[in-house]
Amino acid sequence: MKCTNKRLITLVTALLSMALLTACGSSSYAIPYSSESIYTSISSDMVDTFASDLCVVGSDITDSSISMSTNSCAGLFDLNNRETLYAHNVNEQVDPASLTKIMTALVALKYGSLDQILTATSSVNITESGAQLIGLKEGDTMTLDQALHILLIYSANDAGMLIADNIGGSVEGFTELMNAEAKEIGATKCHFSNPHGLTEDDHYVTAYDMYLIFNAAMQYDVFQEIINMSSYSTVYSHSDGSSAEVNINTTNGYLKGDRTAPSSITVIGGKTGTTNAAGHCLILLAKDSSGNPYIAVIMRAEDGDTLYSEMTALLEKITA
């Protein structure tokens, strides 16, 4: 890192030392990553970010009672105590698939307004085979609130493009905002090339960065409300003025009832993601019997059954 500000060098060095002495961000300043994984992108305007109360992790924190695949990336974070309870490959850069949409939602909530009318351009015409779509066409309109519901509950990729074009002025402009916002919240080991998560070069994130992004998105009440919904119905407008009805269901197995969380754990909601490149991914907000919140994330699981069995085992760690 080339840095001409000697006072900044001294401060960052001090922050690193403090971070390495603790497993959470409860100290006055705590750098999320260990010194070996800090980026050259750290600058003086990021120092305040690292002063936040965050769970931090510099290396794996495993438990023999949890059967986790070698390939999976996983983390469990106790939000009240700011403690990392489990970490496996959390700092490895991997394809995030539709977990990307959490970053999209975060940027949209910061720079847009829920009642803002979004108009679809040709960018919504996604032709990739198997891509999840709501069927938007050029000229279609809906509010940002509607688009966020469709984005997070149903994981529609064309909704991501709709949001990006309107909030960022262009898809490229929006992805620039995504990357700038990621750095601002301390997620310095990721890079986004699109707003939906379909496989693309130079598009990657870590499980730890996903915790940071999800944690930041949770500061918006509407985000927590949306991820808790198992279904959603709305009506938007086509360019000719006709109406299009939408009825969608969540992709989250716990909310659908297809999967069962440990008896003392309540899954509030989260986001799924699956592509051939990313494998199967899931990030959750869960609460224990006393209402204490946790973020759990698993990425790059080999299949859906593995994803949910590993996630259930991770959630059981909360009560251990």
Residues 208-256: pLDDT tens digits? 999 999 999 999 999 999 999 999 999 999 999 999 999 999 999 999 9
> Quick one: pLDDT at residue 320?
78
Confirm if 140 and 244 have CB atoms less than 8 A apart.
Answer: yes
Q: Evaluate if residue 9 carries a pLDDT over 70.
A: no
Pairing of strands 231-237, 243-249: antiparallel
Q: Where are the domains of the chain?
A: 1-56, 97-251
Confirm if 223 and 192 have CB atoms less than 8 A apart.
Answer: no
HSE of 258, CA atoms in CB hemisphere, 13 A: 12
Q: Evaluate if residue 18 carries a pLDDT over 60.
A: no
Q: Evaluate if residue 31 carries a pLDDT over 60.
A: no
> Quick one: pLDDT at residue 202?
97
> Quick one: pLDDT at residue 24?
44
Q: Evaluate if residue 302 carries a pLDDT over 50.
A: yes
Cα distance between residue 163 and residue 158, in whole Å: 9
Q: Please, which pLDDT band fits residue 53 given cuts at 50, 70 and 90?
A: confident
DSSP state of 23: S
Q: 184 CB contacts (<8 Å, ≥6 apart)?
A: 46, 49
Q: Evaluate if residue 35 carries a pLDDT over 80.
A: no
Confirm if 82 and 295 have CB atoms less than 8 A apart.
Answer: no
Lowest mean pLDDT segment, chosen from 61-65, 108-112, 113-117, 135-139: 61-65
Cα distance between residue 44 and residue 59, in whole Å: 25
> Quick one: pLDDT at residue 319?
87
More confident residue, 286 or 67: 286
> Quick one: pLDDT at residue 139?
98
C-alpha dihedral sign at 126, 132, 138, 143: negative
Name which of 156, 173, 155 is nearest 164 in CA terms: 173
149-158 pLDDT, tens digit each: 999 999 999 9
Q: Please, which pLDDT band fits residue 60 given cuts at 50, 70 and 90?
A: very high
> 97-251 in CATH: which number?
3.40.710.10
Q: Evaluate if residue 43 carries a pLDDT over 60.
A: no
Calculate the average pLDDT of the chain.
87
> Quick one: pLDDT at residue 65?
87
Cα distance between residue 278 and residue 275, in whole Å: 5
> Quick one: pLDDT at residue 16?
41
> Quick one: pLDDT at residue 52?
54
- Give strand ranges (E) for 91-194: 117-119, 141-143
Q: Evaluate if residue 51 carries a pLDDT over 70.
A: no
Name which of 278, 277, 318 is nearest 294 in CA terms: 318
Residue 26 CA, chain-centre distance (Å), reads 22
Give 20: exposed, middle or buried? Use CB within 10 Å, 0-12, 13-18, 19+. middle
More confident residue, 50 or 286: 286
Beta bridge partners of 233: 247
Cα distance between residue 245 and residue 237, in whole Å: 9
Confirm if 181 and 107 have CB atoms less than 8 A apart.
Answer: yes
More confident residue, 1 or 182: 182
Lowest mean pLDDT segment, chosen from 46-55, 63-72, 133-142, 311-320: 46-55
More confident residue, 6 or 145: 145
